[in-house]
Amino acid sequence: MNFDLLITHGTVVTADATFTADLAIDAGKIAAILPPNSSSSVALGVAARETRDASGCYVIPGAIDAHVHLNMPTGVGYTADDWCTGTSAAAMGGVTALIDFVETEPDESLLQALEKRLGETHDAIIDFGLHMTIQPDEHPVNGIPRRVSAKRIAEIKQVYDAGCATFKMYMAYPGFQVQDMDLFRALRAIAEVNGLACIHAENGDVIEVLRQSEICDPALALNHARTRPTINEHEAVTRAVMCAEVSGARVLIFHIGCEHAARVVADAKLRGLSHIYGETCPQYLVLTEDALARPDGRLYVCAPPLRPQADQDAMWRMLASRALDIVSTDHCPFTLAQKDKGSADFRQAPGGMPGIETRLGLLHEYGVRRGRLSLNDWVRICSTRPAEIHGMNQKGRVAVGYDADIVIFDPKARKNLTPRELHSAIDWSAYNGLTCTGWPRDVIARGDFVVRDQRLCASPARGRFIRRSF
């Protein structure tokens, strides 16, 4: 038995089990899971071009970040990471696949928008999928489209067949917000192809009024949270779940940050609605709204906003109990200069937090090491469930026949989360001052080392578009 690579003496951690084994990798796939030390047994005749010792390390399926915004046009220019810097930073943090977005102009078809977006992805160094955004394209009011056309909804099947099996809809943000009628029509079409809808659930109409109201002193970034109260998120998640239940569509509620909203998903599951899923993000697990009250509070503007400590505590409990399914980053990086547009008025600060490199380490530090998650929970939340929920059928598991996307994670390696030690193309870190004990040492993507001894070694442009289906 001759393999490309053997990973020996590691502790394999999957979503369900922890055991010692050697892994054999061949032609980009996991070829065999061997009893420990079988690679050194001459009698078994196991040989490989390279043997990598993983003693003292966890061998886990590569992390999957199912929610990032690379090279996204915004009011302050593009998000700071392009496909090269973003996927490089992701790989350094143990991510072997991610999912970004296609956004659409009113006058182009969804398939044209997909083609255009694919044309921007050549520099990706890890595999990636794309969510299709369903946004209004007709009946403009003050130049902003308000309705989603029937033509657009009719395209959902073609988009699914093109490997773009997940559809993002916003219930907030002028220009992106879809009205309930359109949300529901789109969900029915998504249900018909058995796709997945990913929903940004906040009540946009109420937010827009509050943002223009007397309670909103623009000099105080904490008002970002006050104008997006938890009950607003709770109401929108309730409405989204009702639409999911009535339409039968599979729905993932994106970036849940508060207990009441998470409970809506938990209750749906208790009622047997197994097609409703919940995502949270590291910023809701590690930071609180206190960050918005700091002099540099504008840096922490994201939506939904950061919440009080009690909500943060609830997010951890909801993950451990499986009420919430996955953690993605919503990586939406802006430089200090871009964020500074909000110095005098937080409403001008571009919304979004960086985090593409730090999720696996933060969940190990604040989840596993603090006793909130087991090692198996950690793998389930960061790798296995994201792959299942988003239709990456070859990824997310250490199992024979799956893509050889593997992280060799050193639980003793220390990492300071300073901008200097991270690789996103921004000049600040949302987690500055924090240290993780435990960090990816080696990252292997479809059998190739993309990170070796914490150094990037990927060939450029090796990432492929993942055609996803359910």
Instruction: Return residues touching ligand DUC (CB under 6 A).
Output: 69, 200, 302-303, 330, 332, 351-352
Q: Which two tokens stand for residue 90?
A: 């992701």
Q: Which two tokens stand for residue 306?
A: 């950061």
Q: Which residue has the tokens 């993000």?
A: 281
CA distance 322 to 340: 38
CA distance 258 to 303: 12
Q: CB 249 → Zn ion: shortest distance, Å? A: 20
* Cβ nearer to ligand DUC, comparing 66 with 332: 332
Which residue stretch of 48-56, 322-330, 338-346, 458-466 sits at the interface with Zn ion (rule: CB under 5 A)? Answer: 322-330
CA distance 353 to 336: 12
Q: CB 131 → ligand DUC: shortest distance, Å? A: 12
303 contact, one of Zn ion, ligand DUC, none, CB 5-8 Å limit per kind: ligand DUC
* Cβ nearer to ligand DUC, comparing 54 with 72: 72
Q: Is 279 in the site for Zn ion (CB under 5 A)?
A: no
Contact with Zn ion (CB under 5 A) among 123, 127, 235, 330: 330
* Cβ nearer to Zn ion, comparing 21 with 302: 302
CA distance 45 to 127: 33
Q: How many residues bind Zn ion (CB under 5 A)?
A: 1
Length of the chain counted residue by residue: 470
Which residue stretch of 113-121, 185-193, 327-335, 421-429 sits at the interface with Zn ion (rule: CB under 5 A)? Answer: 327-335
Sort 272 into a burial class: Cβ within 10 Å, 0-12 / 13-18 / 19+.
exposed
Q: CB 79 → ligand DUC: shortest distance, Å? A: 8
Strand extents, DSSP E, 273-352: 276-280, 326-327
Contact 31, 3 (CB under 8 A): yes
302 contact, one of ligand DUC, Zn ion, none, CB 5-8 Å limit per kind: ligand DUC
Could you give the residue ranges of the DSSP H alpha helices within 322-451?
336-339, 359-362, 375-379, 385-389
CA distance 348 to 93: 30
Q: CB 382 → ligand DUC: shortest distance, Å? A: 20
352 contact, one of ligand DUC, Zn ion, none, CB 5-8 Å limit per kind: ligand DUC
Q: CB 186 → Zn ion: shortest distance, Å? A: 18
Q: Which residue has the tokens 């451990």?
A: 320
**Site map (CB under 5 A) of Zn ion, residues 92-131, x = contact:** ----------------------------------------
| HSE toward the beta carbon, residue 317, CA cutoff 13 A | 12
351 contact, one of Zn ion, ligand DUC, none, CB 5-8 Å limit per kind: ligand DUC
Q: What residues make contact with Zn ion under the rule CB under 5 A?
A: 330
